[in-house]
Each structure stands twice: as C-alpha cells, then as structure tokens.
Chain A
C-alpha cells in the first residue's frame, strides 16, 4: 500500500475529531484529551507522509475514485508535506497552550467548549488547502479554515472582538469572492480546474487572458497572505483575539495564502511575467509593514505589523523564481510560522503576567520572570535575523539569491531586506528595553502587579508573595516547546535547506507534479522564458 493514500486522513482526522469534541461539549476533560490526541495522531501521520516523499517524489491520491482531471486529487510533495508537518506541530503546541489557559481560567473568559471543535476544523481546512491539487478544492479548504477562523476571532463576543471580527469577515469574504471569480474565469477559459491539467492548458491561452487570470489569483491570495497594499486588515483584526487564536492565525493563515501564491507562481503561471510587480509589492510590504510596527505600543499589534512585514521576504523569494530564491522562501515560511507563533504565545504570557500587553505599562519583567525573558528573547532575536538563528539563515539565503539574480530591482530588495531586518531589531529591542529591562517605577502607568514588591537591595529580586501571578505550567511548557522547535530549525538548518531547495527544484520543474497527477505520459509544457535574457542584460 502506498503511504500517500493515507493523505486524506490529514483532513478527515481533524474533522472527525471536531465532531467528537462537539459531542463531548459537556465534558471538558474528555474534549481536551480527544483534541490533543487527534492532533498528535495527525502530526505523526504527516511526519510519515513527509518521510515518504523526503528526498524527492510526488504522490497523488484520487478522492472518490474519479480519475484526474475530472475528480479531486490530493497531492503530497515535499513542499506540501513539509508545510503540513510544521503547521500541525505549531497547532498542537498552540492547542496545548490554549487548554492550559482554559484550565487555568475556566470557561468564563473564552467559551473553551466551542474552541476545540472549531480549532480542529481550522486545522482540517489548513491541511486541505496544503494538500489540494484542485483549484476549487483549494477554495473549499480556504473556506473551511476561514469559517472556523471567523468563529475563533470573535470568540466570547466582546465589543472589540466583534468590531475586529467584522473587518476580518468582510475582507475575507471579498477575497474569497475574488478567488471564486478567478476560478470561474479559469474554468471558462480552459474547461478544467485541476491544477496539473491547468498547468498544461493555461499555457495555450493568449497573453492577455493569462495575465488577467494570473493577476486575479494573485490579488485573491495576496489579501489572504497580507501583501501590501492588501494587508491593511491584518494588524487591525488579529490583536484583539485571545492569545492562542492570534498565535495560530499569525502562524498559519497568512502562510496558507503564501502557499497558494507559490503554487500559482510555479505550477499554474510559471515564468517571470509578473515578477517585477511582485518584487515591488514585496519591497513595499517589508518596509511599510515594519514602519507600522515601529509606531505601535501594543506588543500584539507590533507583532502583527512585523508579521505583515516579513511576508515581504517570502514574496521576495517567490518573485525571483529561481531555485535559490524559492528554496530560501520555503525555508523562510517554515521558520516564520514557528517564530511568529511562539512570539505571540509569549506575548500572551506577558499579558498574563503583567496585566497588559502595552509597552507603556509593562516593565521590569526580566527580574520578575526570567523564564519569560528567555522565552521572549530567543524567538525575538530569531525574528530579527541575528546570527546564528534560522531567521538569519533564511534572510541570508534570500539575499544571496537576490544578489545572484543581479537585477537593479533585486538589489533594491536586498537593501530593503537588510533595512527591514534592522528595523525589526529596533522594534523588538524597544519592547525588550521597556518590558524587560526598565524598572516598573519608570513606566507611565505600570500595572499594580508589577509594583507590589519593593526591590530587595541585596539580591535585586523583586518578586514577592503579593505580586506573583503564576503562569500555568502547561502554557509555559508549550511555549517552551515551540521555542525549542524554533531553535531546532536552526540546528537542523542544513537538511531543512536541502529539502527546501529540492522542493523548489521540483516546483520549478513542474514535471513531477504534473506526472504524478496525470500519469507518466502527460506532456509537460516548457516554461516561458521570454523576459529572462532581457532582464539579465539590464543587470550589472
């Protein structure tokens, strides 16, 4: 039996788990056990899938026994299985964190009973989007995860969450409608929505139609991935949600958009037709995003802006459409999912410990809670791209690929990338200086919990019996697990970069994907390379 034929389980398991947790809605303990068990099982399965395609190989599963291009296919290749493993690992960590928070707070603050089924459906939608080899199934995957995310972002139904939720829902629905229009037009133009089949047939369309379809897909995915100027909704809607929800959204949802953009650029519309506009968008995303981050005083909002900003790096790698660039982008996606999620989880802990997530109010945490300092410092430095962390390696790969490409625009992006990295460091250092190193007395409106104990002059210890809010061990533990996972990405960066490069190679080659879906004899059209020589001539 082919292992890849188990791929549908990555979607089915979480959905079954959601049904079961919904039945167990009155038994929180059983619910927790079921959802954690289901996600662990899914993660193991996905690791197995990744192992089966490690080092090359693409497998396709026909759902319902219909042959492609008529039936729906799920495609397992290195990129999709890598994304599956990372996304499930991250969602498992966040789930444990959320159950820890739920157990500590009870059901008052957030209706945890609804949380579990919705969360599992979100995971199922993400898995479906990653695996889908059919454009409409990709749309359905998006809708599954979006509908779940609508519920999660308005969890509890408080005023600010409803307000943020409205923006989020409307923007998401509009982007889905755009995606659906693009699908309809693609079907009208080619008569198929199977992605491998489209890869062959889209090449036969005339230039104008192709560009139109290409732009429509990129705009629809660009809204989901929060690429400037379509990123306005993200910093507004993410920060108000509960900490674990924001964390999983920041880690996964935008990356699903990036994943869809990668598939669009490599499989459906290969070549460099829209590379220049994409590069400009990447540059603006990086710079505008990080400038927004510098203005914020709320840590969650600041992190949301860095999230937008760092999407620019991935789009940059994607827009180079070279093996080096795309490989670095794949590596960067994996790195960024992990790091951004752990930073949001730590921010949740900071908020819990100090009563606020605003850098104007939080202070003195380095002495009050050194563990929190370590948990924040490692991913923060990782995000800013300080060697030797994976953020540095990913950025280095992108910059090298940019210099290799050598066009003036690529050099502009290299400079923009370095600048963004420095500004990220500045934004992060500001949080660090204020929230961790500053004395509570120096803060503008410090939370009473930070001030309660006078400094012990002998040891410099500030923690007293009155001002210790205990952080639940499960929450700290899961955050620690994710931080360690992030460090592991640095340690195992070598093999990871190799897989990323291989998957980039396969995606740019296209033949493994097309032949896995349509059979060995499927014709693979050549990639249009019209503008490449001209671009190189324009370089230095």
Chain B
C-alpha cells in the first residue's frame, strides 16, 4: 500500500495546528482546533484506502485491484456529517457563552475553586468536641476554625530569636505555648459543651 505524501504532510500540519488550537482558552479557537482535528482524521481515513483507483462501479472487464476502496470514503462521509453536527452545536454554545458572559473564554469552575480554597480544617468535622468522647489530644488550635492554618508559620522576622509563632484564629501564639495547648487535658478542649443538647 502506498500513500500520497502531500496529503500526509497536510494531515500532519492539520493535526499540529488543531492540537495547538484546542489548548487555547478562547472558545472560537478551540472550535477551529476541533474542526482541524476532524479534517485531519478524514485525511487519515482516506489514506488508509490505499492507491487512488477507478470508481467502485462493477464492470466485469476490470480486475478487482484497479478499483478504489469505497469503504474509507463511506466512513469519511459519516464522520463529516458528525463533525458538522458537533460544529453547529459548538457554535450555538459559543454564542450562548457570549450572550451570558460577554466573553469568548472558558469560565472557571467556581465550585472547584471553592473546594480548592477550603482549608483542610472543617468546622464541623474537626472542631473541638466534648472531652469525654476522646482520650487523645486534639492536634489543632482554635475552636471556631476561622482563618485557621494547617502549617505553623515561622516568625522569620529577623529578630534573631529562635522562637517561632503559630497562627491561631486571629491571634499569634508562641510555638511553645501552642505546643503546651496540645497536651491532654489542656484548656483548648472546651468542656462547657459536655452533656449539652443531644
């Protein structure tokens, strides 16, 4: 089987441009990229049909090898129709994005951003619980969880002091003091809620 080098080169160029374009944030460019990819694939399918040949209309005097392979062309026809539908739909979506957001760019997923920004401290799962339920020290500070950070923040203020400070809510606690708060039975554990509610 032999193939047409020009078509193959064009196919390669179309794939390259198509992949470049779908990586853009602009929706119109993404659409153009998808169209190029679809057309490159059509050329690829065409290439699998082998040599150009006679139209596949049966004639008893023609040897079988002289015909062109009709199947790839049928496949291309189907895939053209499909990519046509997808292109039309994408255009509709792009127009809608323009109407809604007045911009031609992919919008961020707000919920995803929110989850990413959520501190690993969860007020409900991780906040102070009544003492009697656990014998283990709670490895965190503060009881409201607001503004709580996971990592100890080094002082780094250049005072030369070896002491580091830890953020806890809106106050800064010296590291030793913070560590002492982690001891069992420390005041950090809120006893007032014991036997409350439930």
- Chain A residues proximal to chain B, CB less than 8 Å: 136, 140, 143, 147, 150-151, 154, 157-160, 162-167, 169-170, 173-174, 176-177, 180-181, 183-185, 187-188, 193, 236, 239, 295-298, 301, 430, 434, 442, 444
Contacts and interface: CB of A to CB of B under 8 A. Distances in A.
Q: Which of B1, B96, B112 has the most CB of A within 10 A?
A: B96
B118 A295 contact: yes
A169 B112 CA distance: 19
Contacts of A143: 82
Contact of A180 (B41, B86, B118, B124): B41
B140 to A, nearest CB: 18
Contacts of A163: 97, 106-107, 109
A379 B88 CA distance: 39
A181 B19 CA distance: 14
A298 B124 CA distance: 15
Contact of A169 (B44, B93, B101): B93
B7 interface: no
Nearest to A160: B110
A235 B34 CA distance: 23
Contacts of A173: 34, 37-38, 86
Contacts, number: 97
Interface string B136-178: 0000000000000000000000000000000000000000000
Contacts of A136: 75, 78
- Dominant secondary structure of chain A at its interface with chain B: helix
A169 to B, nearest CB: 6
Nearest to B198: A439
B86 A184 contact: no
Given A184-B48, A236-B112, A166 B27 contact: yes
B5 interface: no
Interface string B71-84: 11001001100100
A19 B47 CA distance: 37
Interface string B106-145: 1101111001001000011100000000000000000000
Contact of A177 (B1, B27, B41): B41
A170 B22 contact: yes
Interface of B: 1, 22, 27, 30, 34, 37-38, 41, 44-45, 47-48, 71-72, 75, 78-79, 82, 85-86, 89-90, 93, 96-97, 100-101, 106-107, 109-112, 115, 118, 123-125
Nearest to B122: A297
A140 B78 contact: yes
B29 to A, nearest CB: 11
A157 B97 CA distance: 9
B44 A166 contact: no
Q: Which of A187, A298, A434 has the most CB of B within 10 A?
A: A187
A193 B49 CA distance: 13
Given A162-B100, A163-B106, 15 more contacts: A136-B78, A162-B96, A162-B97, A170-B22, A170-B34, A173-B38, A177-B41, A184-B72, A185-B48, A187-B48, A187-B71, A188-B47, A297-B115, A434-B124, A444-B123
A181 B100 contact: no
Contacts of B123: 444
A154 B93 contact: yes
B38 to A, nearest CB: 6
Nearest to A298: B111
A167 B25 CA distance: 11
A184 B37 contact: no
B45 to A, nearest CB: 4
Nearest to A358: B111
Given A177-B37, A177-B41, A147 B125 contact: no
